[in-house]
Amino acid sequence: MEDQEIRKAGLKVTAPRVKILELLENSEQRHVSAEDVYRMLLSANEDIGLATVYRVLTQFEEAGLVEKHHFEDGHSVFELNKGKHHDHIVCVTCGRVKEFVDETIEDRQKKIADELGFQISEHDLVIYGKCLDDACERKP
């Protein structure tokens, strides 16, 4: 049950939080924006304000339940935290997102930060490209 996860995060179990968490868990796309979530809630006839969506997603992020990413187009997306770090590759045309992990890159990053006198808190590698999928089209 979602209730447990929310409680564990130190948050009260409220309808919006449960609904949003459910939605994230059952969503087709792993990467959704706050607006996406809001629209999905409307479709589901849930009466939840946009401000609450942002609030809840931010709280979930602080609690480590979801991760937030800022892509170059200025769009922020949230995704359920699977607990495993990964980077993203985004199609510049259709917006499709894939995930990947590469130990070599991870190691090099640590080394570089070390050399430059930084203590890594996090990082974001995003590769932008054109995917070769047949259905790749610019979104409307």
Q: How far is the CB of 115 from a copy of itself (least distance, A)?
A: 8
What tokens does 108 get?
A: 């090099």
* Identity of the residue, 55 or 96, whose beta carbon is nearer to DNA in the bound complex: 55
Q: How far is the CB of 3 from a copy of itself (least distance, A)?
A: 31
Q: List residues near DNA by CB under 7 A.
A: 7, 11-17, 33-35, 47-52, 54-56, 58, 74-76
For residue 49, what are the CA distances in angstroms to 101, 106, 116? 36, 39, 44
**Residues in CB range of 49: below 8 A, 6 or more apart:** none
* Identity of the residue, 4 or 104, whose beta carbon is nearer to a copy of itself in the bound complex: 104
Q: How far is the CB of 133 from a copy of itself (least distance, A)?
A: 7
* Identity of the residue, 42 or 105, whose beta carbon is nearer to DNA in the bound complex: 42
Task: Select the binding partner of residue 34 from a copy of itself, DNA, none (C-beta < 5 to 8 A, by kind).
Answer: DNA
Q: How far is the CB of 68 from a copy of itself (least distance, A)?
A: 8
Q: Name the amino acid, one letter, at 49.
A: G
For residue 67, the cross-strand partners are: 79
122 by Cβ neighbours in 10 Å (0-12 / 13-18 / 19+) ranks as: exposed
* Identity of the residue, 73 or 115, whose beta carbon is nearer to DNA in the bound complex: 73
d(CA 18, CA 95) in angstroms, rounded, equals 28
